[in-house]
Chain A
Amino acid sequence: MSISVLRAGLLTTVQDKGRFGYRKEGVIVGGAMDLFALRIANLLVGNEEGKAALEVTLMGPSILFETETLISICGGNLTPSVGGKELPLWRPVYIQAGQMLEFGACQSGARAYVAIAGGIEVPEVMQSRSTYLRAGLGGLEGRALKEGDKLYNGTLTERSAAYMEYMASNAGSQPFQAADWYVGDRQFPAYAKNPVIRVLRGREFEWFTEESQETFFTAPFRVTSQSDRMGYRLKGTKLDLKAEKEVVSEAVTFGTIQVPAEGDPIILMADCQTVGGYPKIAQVVSMDLPVLAQVKPGTTVQFKEVSLQEAEDLYIWKEMEFGKMAKGIELFLSNI
């Protein structure tokens, strides 16, 4: 199967779950900003959850499917359509050969994930297919997709192939056929336009003035336009240190909230550097990272403190729920 890119969109990249094991060499993790949506999208087309898919940002691309394909779009609703008809999210969709996938207005969220049965087949670099833009590695030639690009998928699992055949037989002459079952929003992370994000206190939380500590958990912060896959720059009440103090550079990670001297916090995102030297006021709990990934510039976020125990319980419980959901999806795909 192959797909052609007719229009690139704002920023469309190949992403998987990220590149692990190389942070000590300065290589970032990268990977999908919204890992929940990526994993579900893959499962819905019968892939393993970590296969490479397309991450589409705010303004989507136009993609031509040269052969019939089984896809799933999850995450933000950027109004995907095929043959002029809107495509439903969070379910498997069979697409006829020669059809074009387009995107319209960004109705909710900021990033959509397009998973394709078999996964997107690009060379693995350091054990991952994620695009590492700054180093020009991974994904398709280490860059965002552009007009004229061609992508291929990998070998379909038996489950994908069987489900695609089943959907094809139901599609008739329609441009696409969407499954009548889907992952419901009860299962979603707490996606919201202006979300409350749960955080743990950072290692340098106590370095901030009491006023700033309180402000951080009570005042809203605006996500500025200087926000990308590396980090979100926030604006709000300035956060001050009790005394000027330097952090000796150490590891940072997706969700670390650091505050440079000028007092505006930065939330580090999927493409963040491996080490940082600014005071860390907080760390976003893993389960709320997908929520942040779907936040648009111009909206606001608020932070709520949770304990490590709560964060760990949440993590374990959500992952168990995810496991059950994965089993459910498997059942729906095989039950044809």
Chain B
Amino acid sequence: MPDITMKEKWGYEVSPLGDTSVIVQFGTGINEVSHRNVLALTSYFEEHPFPGMIEIVPAFTTVTIFYDPMKLYDPFPVEERKRTSVGSPYDTVCSILERIVPKLDRTVRETERVIHIPVCYGGELGPDLDEVARSHHMTADEVIEIHSGQEYLVYMIGFAPGFPYLGGMSERIATPRRRSPRMAIPAGAVGIGGSQTGIYPISTPGGWQIIGRTPLRLFRPEHQTPSLLKAGDKVRFQPIGLDQYKEWNEDQL
């Protein structure tokens, strides 16, 4: 990659999010390069947490690291601390990052998962499908074809437990949110909000256009990893009929 300078390749910025966490930023735009850096640092710390690390939160262009300052400060008593950067828990985390970031393995993983999400489109389970189709002068089937015809990238999980921020939806079916949000969108609802698409893991109020529903549970609190999806996964929607939806059970995944 001759056009990419070292700065762009390893370039990251660190800033504190208060006194117990740091945000590591890779680039400013939502793109594959930032995403790969985010995933690389996330999986490094998942495999090699440092003493005092509590947890990490990957997002579009950032990784936030939460830590316990009491496990990372210089053990000399506070009174004796000179006003230099030595001893600060934040600085300790920064020096760990300085060591690790340049050595990260950013190659695309062989183990990349593609998760197929069965969706029953339209009807009672997708009350806004017809409206979405009409607004684009398409048939409902065309919307389904576009929505289910490609792979999506899970950039991060947030907003609600197990809720994936998916990248890659075709602009051809981008649709503004509903003028008045629904009080309760059921768990499993698949929606379009602007140029994003997503799946509601738990029942919540929301303004997205609901085009279908999946029988899969995206949030399973009894599992060791409660979220079905994680940052870096690929997702494909797979249209199913109402009968299949009703008869679906978890084993079919």
Which residues does chain A contribute within 8 Å of B21, judged by CB atoms? 251, 253
Q: Output the nearest chain B residue to A309 by Cβ-Cβ distance.
A: B88
Which residues does chain B contribute within 8 Å of A20, judged by CB atoms? 54-55, 66
Partner of A250, one of B61, B160, B162: B61
| Interchain residue pairs with CB less than 8 A apart (26) | A24-B58, A125-B221, A134-B204, A135-B160, A200-B18, A200-B19, A248-B28, A248-B60, A250-B61, A251-B57, A253-B18, A253-B21, A273-B160, A275-B57, A275-B156, A285-B19, A286-B19, A308-B16, A309-B88, A312-B69, A312-B88, A312-B90, A315-B19, A315-B20, A316-B70, A319-B70
Structural contact, A27 and B226, CB atoms closer than 8 A: yes
Q: Output the nearest chain B residue to A202 by Cβ-Cβ distance.
A: B17
Partner of B69, one of A253, A274, A283, A316: A316
Partner of A251, one of B62, B202, B227: B62
User: In the bound complex, how far is the Cα of B176 from the Cα of A301, in angstroms?
Assistant: 37
B163 near A: Cβ within 8 Å? yes
Structural contact, B64 and A312, CB atoms closer than 8 A: no
Which residues does chain A contribute within 8 Å of B226, judged by CB atoms? 22, 25, 27, 126
A190 near B: Cβ within 8 Å? no
- We find that the number of chain B residues with CB closer than 8 angstroms to chain A is 51
User: In the bound complex, how far is the Cα of B55 from the Cα of A187, in angstroms?
Assistant: 30
User: In the bound complex, how far is the Cα of B69 from the Cα of A17, in angstroms?
Assistant: 16
B246 near A: Cβ within 8 Å? no
A107-136 to B contact mask, C-beta < 8 Å, 1/0: 000000000000000000110000000111
Known contacts being A24-B230, A285-B19, is A248 close to B30, with CB within 8 Å? yes
Partner of B158, one of A21, A26, A200: A26
Q: Main secondary structure on chain A at its contact with chain B?
A: mixed
Which residues does chain A contribute within 8 Å of B211, judged by CB atoms? none
Known contacts being A20-B55, A21-B54, A26-B227, is A285 close to B159, with CB within 8 Å? no
Which residues does chain A contribute within 8 Å of B89, judged by CB atoms? 312, 316
Q: How far is the CB of B20 from chain A (nearest CB, A)?
A: 6
Which residues does chain B contribute within 8 Å of A10, judged by CB atoms? none
Known contacts being A134-B204, A275-B156, A316-B70, is A203 close to B18, with CB within 8 Å? no
Q: How far is the CB of B78 from chain A (nearest CB, A)?
A: 5
Apart from A275-B59, A308-B88: 12 A-B pairs, beta carbons within 8 A: A20-B66, A21-B55, A25-B162, A26-B158, A26-B162, A26-B219, A135-B221, A200-B18, A203-B17, A250-B61, A251-B62, A286-B19
Which residues does chain B contribute within 8 Å of A27, judged by CB atoms? 161, 226-227
User: Could you tell me which residues of chain A, from 68 to 111, have a CB within 8 Å of some CB in chain B?
Assistant: none
Known contacts being A134-B202, A253-B17, A256-B17, is A25 close to B230, with CB within 8 Å? yes
Which residues does chain A contribute within 8 Å of B81, judged by CB atoms? 313
User: In the bound complex, how far is the Cα of B23 from the Cα of A16, in angstroms?
Assistant: 26
A250-287 to B contact mask, C-beta < 8 Å, 1/0: 11110110000000000000000111000000011110
User: Could you tell me which residues of chain B, from 141 to 166, have a CB within 8 Å of some CB in chain A?
Assistant: 156-163, 165
The 3 closest A-B pairs by CB, nearest first: A251-B64, A275-B158, A25-B227
Which residues does chain A contribute within 8 Å of B135, judged by CB atoms? none
Which residues does chain B contribute within 8 Å of A285, judged by CB atoms? 18-19
Known contacts being A24-B56, A251-B57, A312-B90, is A126 close to B221, with CB within 8 Å? yes
User: In the bound complex, how far is the Cα of B248 from the Cα of A207, in angstroms?
Assistant: 49
Structural contact, A312 and B73, CB atoms closer than 8 A: yes
Q: Output the nearest chain A residue to B231 by Cβ-Cβ distance.
A: A24
B50-85 to A contact mask, C-beta < 8 Å, 1/0: 000011111111101010011001000010010100
Q: Output the nearest chain B residue to A21 by Cβ-Cβ distance.
A: B55
Partner of A286, one of B18, B88, B221: B18
A311 near B: Cβ within 8 Å? yes
B225 near A: Cβ within 8 Å? yes
User: In the bound complex, how far is the Cα of B163 from the Cα of A135, in angstroms?
Assistant: 12
B15 near A: Cβ within 8 Å? yes
Q: Output the nearest chain B residue to A203 by Cβ-Cβ distance.
A: B15
Known contacts being A24-B55, A248-B61, is A309 close to B69, with CB within 8 Å? no
A324 near B: Cβ within 8 Å? no
Structural contact, A311 and B19, CB atoms closer than 8 A: yes
Q: Output the nearest chain B residue to A283 by Cβ-Cβ distance.
A: B18
